[in-house]
């Protein structure tokens, strides 16, 4: 099959008719994921939970996927190849700046980013949701965590004054 040029970080086979039909059939059965993990004050579906669900559902409809790490000197990312048994495919890339996380070296941070990006990329291809929508709660969720606690000023009685 011929490959079209990349548009908006997406590459695809010349036709995606069979892939689209299989996706439509699968999406009638897909459900959002159980939120089985917790971190950073919100619940989400872990990568292993997502992968088990995705493999089961995709194979039922002749679909499969491969995810490979990609990156540059300053970014880390994931390339997801979403395929149909007919040979049709979609390829999407998702990248993020390389950054350190508290208590982790650059390799641990990159591994964490890859796991995170794999979850988001695959959930996007499937059309499922697997985490709490903390954005809907507003930024006050973050502000409550990040505001330093201020000590109450101590009340001094007049007989305690040094003058």
Tokens 């959930």 — which residue? 123
Which pLDDT tens digit goes with each residue over 21-72?
999 999 999 999 999 999 878 899 999 999 999 999 999 999 999 999 999 9
pLDDT value of position 117: 96
| pLDDT score, position 150 | 52
Give this prediction's pTM.
Answer: 0.75
Instruction: Say what the pLDDT of residue 161 is.
Output: 45
Residue 77 and residue 5: Cα distance in Å, rounded?
20
The answer to whether the beta carbons of residues 74 and 146 sit under 8 Å apart is no
- Whose CA is closest to 130, among 56, 20, 65, 39? 39
Sign, Cα dihedral of 63, 69, 70, 74 = positive
Distance of CA 161 to the CA centre of its chain: 58
89-128 pLDDT, tens digit per residue, is: 999 999 999 887 788 888 888 899 999 999 999 999 999 9
133 vs 22: which has the higher pLDDT? 22
């Amino acid at each position: 099959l011929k490959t079209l040029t990349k548009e908006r970080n997406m590459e695809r086979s010349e036709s995606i008719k069979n892939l689209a039909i299989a996706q439509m059939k699968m999406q009638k059965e897909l459900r959002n994921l159980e939120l089985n993990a917790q971190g950073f004050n919100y619940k989400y579906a872990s990568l292993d939970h997502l992968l088990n669900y995705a493999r089961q559902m995709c194979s039922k409809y002749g679909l499969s996927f491969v995810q490979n790490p990609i990156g540059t000197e300053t970014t880390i990312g994931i390339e997801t190849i979403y395929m149909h048994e007919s040979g049709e495919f979609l390829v999407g890339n998702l990248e993020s700046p390389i950054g350190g996380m508290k208590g982790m070296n650059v390799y641990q941070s990159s591994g964490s980013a890859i796991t995170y990006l794999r979850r988001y990329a695959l959930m996007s291809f499937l059309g499922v949701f697997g985490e709490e929508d903390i954005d809907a709660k507003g930024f006050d969720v973050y502000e409550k965590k990040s505001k330093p606690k201020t000590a109450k000023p101590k009340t001094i009685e007049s007989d305690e004054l040094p003058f």
